[in-house]
Homo-oligomer: A and B are copies of this chain.
Amino acid sequence: MKSFHPPQRTLMGPGPSDVPPRVLEALSRPTIGHLDPDFVAMMDELKALLQYAFQTENPMTMPVSAPGSAGMECCFVNLVEPGDKVVVCVNGVFGGRMKENVERCGGTPVLVEDPWGRAVDPQKLEDTLKAHPDARIVAFVHAETSTGACSDVQTLVDIAHRHDCLTIVDAVTSLGGIPLHVDAWGVDAVYSGTQKCLSCTPGLSPVSFGERAVAKIKNRSHKVQSWFLDLNLVMGYWGGGKRAYHHTAPINALYALHEALLILREEGLENAWARHRRLHEALKAGLEAMGLSFVVPEAERLPQLNAVRIPEGVDDAAVRSRLLADYRLEIGAGLGEMAGKVWRIGLMGHACNTRNVLLCLQALEDVLQRAGAAIETGRALAAARAVLETG
């Protein structure tokens, strides 16, 4: 057994996305203690940078020391008490995971179901809340990574608030890629991941909790079922002031997140959102010129996660293997009920750049042609270039 040297890849799947060298270098700086005064000062900066990314002034904003699934769990175990009725909007894999979380917290999920590949329908949420006036929480996914559908956070939060419900929003794939205004939209609890549009390494989950959510957490009648994720304890360490040991923070991962967020701030959130939009338009033009069709209707489509139908007769796994072998290019397979039916092409963070759009189109064209698809050489690239030149 020898040291592991990963192959060189271009990551255009559903995440992780390509991590910039600056972030990898920050990751490898010498480890120091989790109560070191210099480290603690860095934590304060990290919190401010996360507040910027989330567009919030919530003091309870920090990275959970584990991946996005744990960030999701952090929101549910802290906000749901046994017996609570929680409306969960399900339009893909991650809404389904939310439902699992509610059940495992002893809550009662009420589902608002929409077809995979569509946004959450606000009218259905409204109707469900009318039918369940005792519901206290509404949970939904902003950017469904399994399908590429984008739901309207502001509208859904407004409906939830009118029915006196708190909101839990999954922003794993949206943070840094499309507009997300936690304060302006009144989101009560939100979680994200580092390995998508922030282009940091995977393993952390930024979260933020508003005033009403914090009040609910502080006034629970049952202890939070997870000791590790209990915000009443975690905030003794992340809350500022005298830092009480809770668990050993993932020091180096936090260096990396600090650097990734600095890069985002240097570019500016609005510029990052515009870049994702513009390059998505180019990729879309190319994919469509190749005859590929999107799963999600245009108005509900995420720029950073492009789910396209696999052409009939084409072998899903063979195409992805060949992209990896010949072009070192990773694109994502379908997930859940979309397995074998779609590819998910990510344009996230650092990986969302002109080179990658052009590489992906050329590689796909070549590999699909070799798989027997009737694709005219060069059309996809020309279509993408046309968008880039007018952009």
A residues with a Cβ closer than 8 A to B are: 1-9, 11, 13, 15-16, 18-19, 22, 24-39, 42, 45, 48-49, 65-70, 72-73, 97, 100-101, 103-105, 193, 195, 201-203, 223-228, 245-253, 255, 258-259, 262, 265, 324, 330, 333, 335
Tell whether A6 pairs with B223 under 8 Å between CB atoms, given A30-B19, A202-B34, A202-B248: no
A228 proximity list for chain B (CB < 8 A):
66-67, 69-70, 72-73
Minimum CB–CB distance for A246 against chain B, Å: 8
CA distance A253 to B19 in the complex (A): 14
Query: Which residue of chain B lies nearest to A172 when distances are taken between CB atoms in the complex?
Result: B248
State whether A104 touches B225 (Cβ < 8 A): yes
A42 proximity list for chain B (CB < 8 A):
4, 6
State which of B18, B31, B97 has its C-beta within 8 Å of the C-beta of A227.
B97
CA distance A39 to B9 in the complex (A): 12
Query: Nearest 9 CB-CB pairs, A to B?
Result: A203-B250, A28-B28, A66-B66, A69-B247, A201-B252, A19-B31, A24-B28, A202-B248, A4-B42
State whether B19 touches A33 (Cβ < 8 A): no
State which of B36, B48, B104 has its C-beta within 8 Å of the C-beta of A226.
B104
CA distance A228 to B72 in the complex (A): 9
A69 proximity list for chain B (CB < 8 A):
227-228, 246-247
State whether A9 touches B33 (Cβ < 8 A): yes
CA distance A132 to B35 in the complex (A): 41
A250 proximity list for chain B (CB < 8 A):
67, 201-203, 253
The A interface, classified by DSSP as helix, strand, loop or mixed, is: loop
Query: Which residue of chain B lies nearest to A196 when distances are taken between CB atoms in the complex?
Result: B248
CA distance A73 to B247 in the complex (A): 12
Number of copies: 2
CA distance A135 to B180 in the complex (A): 50
CA distance A252 to B34 in the complex (A): 20
CA distance A97 to B36 in the complex (A): 23
Minimum CB–CB distance for A282 against chain B, Å: 23
Q: Apart from A1-B49, A201-B252, A202-B252, what are 20 other A-B pairs with CB-CB below 8 Å?
A: A1-B48, A1-B262, A6-B32, A6-B42, A16-B251, A19-B252, A24-B29, A24-B31, A27-B27, A31-B201, A32-B330, A65-B70, A65-B203, A66-B228, A68-B248, A69-B228, A70-B228, A104-B226, A225-B225, A250-B253
State which of B13, B26, B38, B104 has its C-beta within 8 Å of the C-beta of A33.
B13
Tell whether A67 pairs with B65 under 8 Å between CB atoms, given A103-B223, A203-B250, A226-B226: yes
Minimum CB–CB distance for A294 against chain B, Å: 22
CA distance A22 to B30 in the complex (A): 11
CA distance A97 to B227 in the complex (A): 8
A226 proximity list for chain B (CB < 8 A):
73, 104, 225-226
Interface centre among A22, A193, A228, A335 (most CB of B within 10 A): A228
State whether A335 touches B25 (Cβ < 8 A): no
State whether A330 touches B36 (Cβ < 8 A): yes
Query: Which residue of chain B lies nearest to A3 when distances are taken between CB atoms in the complex?
Result: B259
